[in-house]
Structure 1
Amino acid sequence: MILTLLTHQWKSELRSSVFKKSLVLNIILGLLILYFGSIFLFLGFYLDDILLKVFPGQDVVAVFNGGLLYYFLIDLFFRFLLQEMPVLAVQPYLHLPVRKSKLVHYLLLKSIPSFFNLLPFLLIVPFMVSAVVPAHGQSMAVVWLLALVAITLLNNYLLLYFKRQMSTKPLYTLAFGLTIALLMLLDYIGVLQLQVVSKAIFGAMLQQPWLLAVPMLLLVGAYTLNYGFLKGHTYPEELKVHKTAAVTGANIAFLNRFGEIGKLIELELKLIWRHKRTKSIITMSVFFLFYGLIFYNKGTYLDGFGFLIFVGIILSGMPMFNYGQFLPGWQSAHFDGLLTQRISPYQFYRAKYWMVVPVILLAYVLTLPYGFFGYKIILINTATLLYNIGVNVFVIFFFSVYNKDRLDLSKGSAFNWQGVGASKFVMILPAMVLPILIYLPFGLLGVPYAGIAAIGGLGLLGVIFKKQLLQFSANRFLEHKYKLAAGYRQSA
């Protein structure tokens, strides 16, 4: 049975839309994997020498152990951004003599050979051979490695569980994110020293091998949580929509004064409010408002400008990135009908623009308290706010014509994760990297504030010429609308 499922999954991968994506995106994604893999492998062989130079006279294994908790917290954050949900189309198997438990176990086990699970061991295994084995012996080193494997897989299953819960119980996911943010805050104010705790925990693994049972039991618990949730949500009546929910909600009077644009924004807001998939985007965007806590409390980051620009782009722009990366896929279920309406592409994109801009402004206002970490943060975040409104919105619109994956918003089950993955994130890279490239020459010339002004000025120009940029976006939509319609029909 496992071999049969593997064969079916392989055929599904070969026939998936991933292979029909732009060749450039696939090459960029492959180069990123190769780049980060090479960096981790290189660091693994030389990490003990590097730590000895940075921390002279200290035990390099203890120093490494002190950073492991930080790593696993950061790992959870990036998994939330990039890790794809393992998907198996279970509905065709449910009427066959195949045990549901086998399907669920297969779905959970196929998430193990993930990039996020394998990448850290390009660093850990060489470090174990060069530093841990000589200091603590081979058997203790193996116990230590197995503990790290268990915690890595624990992160994997925790992330999958809470990401699935986000569609049905977003408050659970919110509590999970707030717990991580609270740990970071306690570490910042000195109540909980994560480095000391990390040293104690992983140092004990090298002294008391029986402690390996703790992460193993936690891993079994996380696996059981996922198993129970998936097994309880694979009934045919939950995977198929039998009726359409009644339309609820009154008109938004405030938007009526804006004519056709206001009506389009109102329809978009109703779409967001009525579907679990779109609600989860809002929940995810809220988490990123706490992103600054990870970096602003580190003096090394506040001394420079480049990294602060990157953080500023994310703080005010992530709601736009989260929602905009799927445009116009949110309307994929009724896209053919949309093409027959008397709505011009210019009106369509203008409505999207004026729906996104207030959200960006709100995110900026909510993150103003970060200014207590330094006046530079306010200046940089203001410049990146202008850049997001004047440039990055149109970058998202530019790439929107390549989003040919249909999004079934009527499905609220854990298996409905179309379009989520690293390939979409690669499309957002230009929006995040370009402002840093604009700043770079000014930084090299020693006039960093001129670089910040250039970023804000370019964004201001985009705001001034937004009509022309919206028309350009509309013209691109006209060129690709039939390809989009065909893509949504094929992936239905």
Structure 2
Amino acid sequence: MLTTLLAHQWKESRRSSVFGQSIAINIILGFFIAYFLLSFLVLGFFIDDLLRQAYPNQNPVAVFNGFLLYFFLVDLFMRFMLQDLPVLAIQPYLHLPIKKARLIHYVLLKSVPSLFNFWALLILVPFMVKILMPAYGIMVAAGWLLSVLLLTFFNNFILIYFKRQLSSNPKLTLLFGVAVVGLMLADYFGLLSLRIASASAFNFLLQNPWLVVLPAVLLALAYRLNYTFLLAHTYPEEIALKRNNAVEGGDITFLNRFGNTGKLIALEMKLIWRHKRSKSVVFMSLLILSYGFIFYPNKLYQEGFGMFLFAGIMMTGMFMFNYGQFVPSWQSGHFDALLTKQISPYQFYLAKFWFFVPTSLVAFLVTLPYAYFGWKVVAINLAACLFNIGVNTFVIFYFSVLNTNRIDLSKSSAFNWQGVGASKFVMMIPLILLPLLVYAPFGYWGIPYWGISAVGFLGLVGFALHKQMLNLVASRFLSHKYKIATGFRQ
């Protein structure tokens, strides 16, 4: 049965109309993955020397163990942002003489070979061989490594469970997120020390290798939690399409005066208001506006403007990034109808542009109270806002033609991650790196205000030439619109 299901999954992927598309993105992504894996491997061989330099009077094993809890928290965050749920089109199998348990075990075990579960071995194995084995012996060192690996698998299954709960019980997932953030804040404000707790726990594990059974029990419980949840939600009536209840909404009179552009913006706002998926984007973007409290009071970032610029780009452009990464997938349900209307691609993207401009300006206005940390913060955020409007908007539009994944808004809910994958992460790289690259030479020459001015000036130039830029985007859309429409029909 396992080989049969694997063969079906491979055929489904191979025969898909989108197979082989976005080859350039996959190549870039592969390059970055190889680079980071090589970096982690090198770090694994030299991490003991780095720990001795940073903590000269402490045992490197105890120091390393002290950071393991931080590693698991960061691992949870990375998985939440990037890891896709293991899926199987299970409905066609339910009427066949196949035990449902086999299908569920297959879905769960699909997540085990994920790169997220094994990349840490590039650091852990060299550290174990160089430090732990000479000090504690091979059996104790192997037990320590197995414990960390089992806890990594526990992270995998517990995160999968809470991601699945997003659609049926978002409050439980919100409570889980609050607990994780609360732990990190308590450590930051000195209410408790995760380092001390982590070092004590894993040092005790080294002294008592039989305690490896505890991570194994946790893993078994997390697996059972997922199994029970899927077993209760794999009946045909559970998987059937839900009825799409229409929601009435009034016209936005103010926007009607701007013609077709205003009407398209009004439709965009109604789409956001009527669906939990799009409203969650607004909510998450509002949370990013508190980024300044992380960067501006920190003395490490006071000397240069690079990190301040990063914070400004994120705060004034996060809604644009979060919402724009799914353009035009938000309209995937009625994309074919849009193609038949008297709406040109230029009008379509012009409406998106004038929808993003006010959101960035409002975000900048909200960040004005950060002037408490210095007026240079206001100047940096203004430059970041202009750059987002005049440059990053068109970067998002340029990559938008690669969005061929359909979004079913009738199935969405708060914090829905449908369609989120590594390709979206690749798109975020130029959005963040471009302003930093513009600023970098000026910061190196010791004239940071000139660098900030250059970032803002490029944004103004892009805004002044927005008609020409939108024409280029519209031409690119015309050459890809049938490919996009085909992907949305899947």
Provide the TM-score with structure 1 as the length reference: 0.90
The 1:271–1:236 alpha-carbon spacing in structure 2 relative to 1, beyond 3 Å, is farther
Would the aligned equivalents of 1:188 and 1:297 in 2 still touch at CA under 8 Å?
A: no
Q: Which is further off, 133-142 or 391-400?
A: 133-142
Look up the match of 2:278.
278
Deviation of 1:60 (Å): 0.6
Deviation of 1:28 (Å): 0.4
Residue type of the partner of 2:394?
F
Look up the match of 2:320.
320
Look up the match of 1:428.
428
Alpha-carbon distance in 1 for matches of 2:147, 2:302: 35
The 1:359–1:85 alpha-carbon spacing in structure 2 relative to 1, beyond 3 Å, is farther
Deviation of 1:186 (Å): 2.1
Deviation of 1:33 (Å): 0.9
Deviation of 1:217 (Å): 3.4
> Is 1:401 aligned to residue 434 of structure 2?
no
Deviation of 1:124 (Å): 0.8
Residue type of the partner of 1:344?
S
Q: Which runs of 5+ in 2 are unaligned?
A: none
Alpha-carbon distance in 1 for matches of 2:288, 2:233: 29
Alpha-carbon distance in 1 for matches of 2:343, 2:307: 41
Q: Which is further off, 474-483 or 362-371?
A: 362-371
- 1:171-320 to structure 2, matched below 5 A, reads 171-241=171-241, 243-286=243-286, 288-289=288-289, 298-320=298-320
Q: Which is further off, 234-243 or 85-94?
A: 234-243
Does the residue aligned with 2:343 lie in a helix, a strand or coil? coil
Q: Which is further off, 165-174 or 61-70?
A: 165-174
Does the residue aligned with 1:149 lie in a helix, a strand or coil? helix
Deviation of 1:242 (Å): 5.9
The 1:2–1:286 alpha-carbon spacing in structure 2 relative to 1, beyond 3 Å, is farther
Would the aligned equivalents of 2:345 and 2:478 in 1 still touch at CA under 8 Å?
A: yes
Q: Deviations over 1:13-64 (max 9, x none)?
A: 3334664222221110111110011011111111112211222232111111
The 1:8–1:417 alpha-carbon spacing in structure 2 relative to 1, beyond 3 Å, is farther
Look up the match of 2:471.
471
Q: Deviations over 1:270-302 (max 9, x none)?
A: 323333443443454455445556666654344
Would the aligned equivalents of 1:185 and 1:293 in 2 still touch at CA under 8 Å?
A: no
The 1:103–1:269 alpha-carbon spacing in structure 2 relative to 1, beyond 3 Å, is farther
Look up the match of 2:342.
342
Residue type of the partner of 1:161?
Y
Q: Deviations over 1:416-446 (max 9, x none)?
A: 9653210222122111111111112112222
The 1:130–1:372 alpha-carbon spacing in structure 2 relative to 1, beyond 3 Å, is farther
> Is 1:483 aligned to residue 455 of structure 2?
no
Look up the match of 1:84.
84
Would the aligned equivalents of 2:17 and 2:487 in 1 still touch at CA under 8 Å?
A: no
Alpha-carbon distance in 1 for matches of 2:223, 2:209: 23
Would the aligned equivalents of 2:67 and 2:198 in 1 still touch at CA under 8 Å?
A: yes
Q: Which is further off, 318-327 or 360-369?
A: 360-369
Would the aligned equivalents of 1:167 and 1:280 in 2 still touch at CA under 8 Å?
A: no
Would the aligned equivalents of 2:405 and 2:419 in 1 still touch at CA under 8 Å?
A: yes
Alpha-carbon distance in 2 for matches of 1:146, 1:287: 37
Provide the TM-score with structure 2 as the length reference: 0.90
The 1:5–1:285 alpha-carbon spacing in structure 2 relative to 1, beyond 3 Å, is farther
Would the aligned equivalents of 1:289 and 1:363 in 2 still touch at CA under 8 Å?
A: yes
Would the aligned equivalents of 1:70 and 1:194 in 2 still touch at CA under 8 Å?
A: yes
Would the aligned equivalents of 1:158 and 1:222 in 2 still touch at CA under 8 Å?
A: yes
Look up the match of 2:460.
460
Counting aligned pairs with the same residue, the percent is 58
Residue type of the partner of 1:226?
N
Q: Deviations over 1:201-259 (max 9, x none)?
A: 22222223354344333333332332233333323233332643223333344444444
Would the aligned equivalents of 2:304 and 2:448 in 1 still touch at CA under 8 Å?
A: no
Does the residue aligned with 2:409 lie in a helix, a strand or coil? coil
The 1:480–1:232 alpha-carbon spacing in structure 2 relative to 1, beyond 3 Å, is same
Alpha-carbon distance in 1 for matches of 2:256, 2:100: 50
Residue type of the partner of 2:226?
N
> Is 1:143 aligned to residue 132 of structure 2?
no
Q: Which is further off, 199-208 or 358-367?
A: 358-367
Look up the match of 2:109.
109
Q: Deviations over 1:390-409 (max 9, x none)?
A: 21111101111222222233
Alpha-carbon distance in 2 for matches of 1:222, 1:363: 40
Deviation of 1:447 (Å): 1.5
> Is 1:64 aligned to residue 60 of structure 2?
no
Q: Which is further off, 458-467 or 369-378?
A: 369-378
Alpha-carbon distance in 1 for matches of 2:237, 2:285: 31
- 1:306-385 to structure 2, matched below 5 A, reads 306-366=306-366, 377-385=377-385
The 1:314–1:342 alpha-carbon spacing in structure 2 relative to 1, beyond 3 Å, is same
Alpha-carbon distance in 1 for matches of 2:319, 2:221: 33
Deviation of 1:100 (Å): 2.1
The 1:183–1:110 alpha-carbon spacing in structure 2 relative to 1, beyond 3 Å, is same
Residue type of the partner of 2:397?
F
The 1:294–1:177 alpha-carbon spacing in structure 2 relative to 1, beyond 3 Å, is farther
Deviation of 1:193 (Å): 2.3
Alpha-carbon distance in 1 for matches of 2:178, 2:67: 21
Would the aligned equivalents of 1:181 and 1:290 in 2 still touch at CA under 8 Å?
A: no
The 1:204–1:319 alpha-carbon spacing in structure 2 relative to 1, beyond 3 Å, is farther
Deviation of 1:168 (Å): 3.8
The 1:275–1:422 alpha-carbon spacing in structure 2 relative to 1, beyond 3 Å, is same
CA RMSD of aligned residues (A): 2.7
Q: Which runs of 5+ in 1 are unaligned?
A: none
Alpha-carbon distance in 1 for matches of 2:480, 2:243: 32
Q: Which is further off, 122-131 or 207-216?
A: 207-216
Residue type of the partner of 1:432?
I
Q: Deviations over 1:138-187 (max 9, x none)?
A: 23222322221122122222322333333344333333333333223222
Residue type of the partner of 1:189?
F
